[in-house]
Homo-oligomer: A and B are copies of this chain.
Amino acid sequence: MSIVSAMTSNTAVRLARRPAGLPVADDWLIETAQVPDPGPGQFVVKTHLISLDPAMRGWLDDRPSYLPPVGIGEVMRAMTVGEVVASQHHRFGIGSMVLGTFGVQEYAVSDGDGVTLVDSRLGTPSMYLGVLGTTGLTAYFGLMELGKPRAGDTVVVSAAAGAVGSVVGALARLNGCRVVGIAGGSEKCAYVVDELGFDIAVDYKAPGLRNALNQACPDGIDVYFDNVGGPVLNAALGNLAMGARIVICGAISQYNAEVPTPGPSNYMSLLVRRATMSGFLVFDYASEYRVARKRLARWVADERIAAPETLVKGTVSDFNDVLLRLFRGDNVGKLILDVTPG
């Protein structure tokens, strides 16, 4: 074991109050305290990379969901990758790189529960937040378990340039599907086709989304993987093929809404098209992560999955600014705050 220097301080981002709409700087409290030494069975992680995820916004609201909300005064919940710098744990020794829900802070103490060792043979540390992390696993289990793609299917993915969407598109192509991406603006649409290998892209910011989708999917949509909700989901519901599967993964268009957003008025096409709309959470597939991660790693190595990422250099204090990039939609691939020293 090694003792963390008593001089070492930990800066953490804590929730000061619940945001109304988009989070602002005053919603957070940035506090510095001393890093405690690890007790028996514990270790200390120094944060390198912090994952930014649309779901974070939901964790800030005080309402029942799949996880309890982040409490006022608590360190903001986040998946991170870091290095073990002190340890009294038999499995996580000093120098190990680990993935865990360590929060938006420079250091964290852990007993190893829910912590995964980064295996450098599979991928880089940042890939453990992206394609090999919750992001890629969400794409994998959502598409394969709920979307049930078959060769020849038309698969439509919203937020196609995003962390989850880009992987869904690649996996759908691997499964022999025709893949249509929905993204915002002509630049992102070009990126989705040219860099990510989608067959076609549809710009949701252009007028006439429902008709544009209809033209892009002349045989209808067999699988719609939804990350955004709102009018985009509604347009997709208006273009379903018979027996379509709609996978509800997220609803980023709604997370910052200050009044409830209308639901999808076209939901009755579920009946006309004998379709199914299902929600899921990746955590339910935890026992299958290991196998899925190996597959995803192999496909990345074979360049069958592009796995783009946007790393932003900074400190934990930059968390709110970087989070807002997600909701502005001005990043592509996995968004990560890189707080690695130096």
Contacts and interface: CB of A to CB of B under 8 A. Distances in A.
Interface of A: 64-66, 229, 234, 248-251, 254, 260-281, 284
A66 B275 contact: no
A276 B279 CA distance: 7
B267 A264 contact: yes
A318 B277 CA distance: 40
Contacts of A278: 270, 274-277
B284 A279 contact: no
Contact of A264 (B66, B254, B263, B269): B263
Contacts of A229: 268
Contacts of A249: 271
A280 B267 CA distance: 12
A296 B274 CA distance: 24
Number of copies: 2
A244 to B, nearest CB: 10
B267 A260 contact: no
Given A234-B263, A276-B276, 10 more contacts: A64-B272, A251-B268, A269-B279, A270-B277, A271-B281, A272-B281, A273-B279, A275-B279, A276-B279, A277-B278
Given A262-B262, A276-B276, A277-B276, A267 B284 contact: no
16 contacts: A234-B263, A249-B271, A261-B265, A263-B263, A264-B267, A269-B279, A270-B277, A270-B279, A272-B281, A273-B279, A274-B278, A274-B284, A275-B278, A276-B277, A277-B277, A277-B278
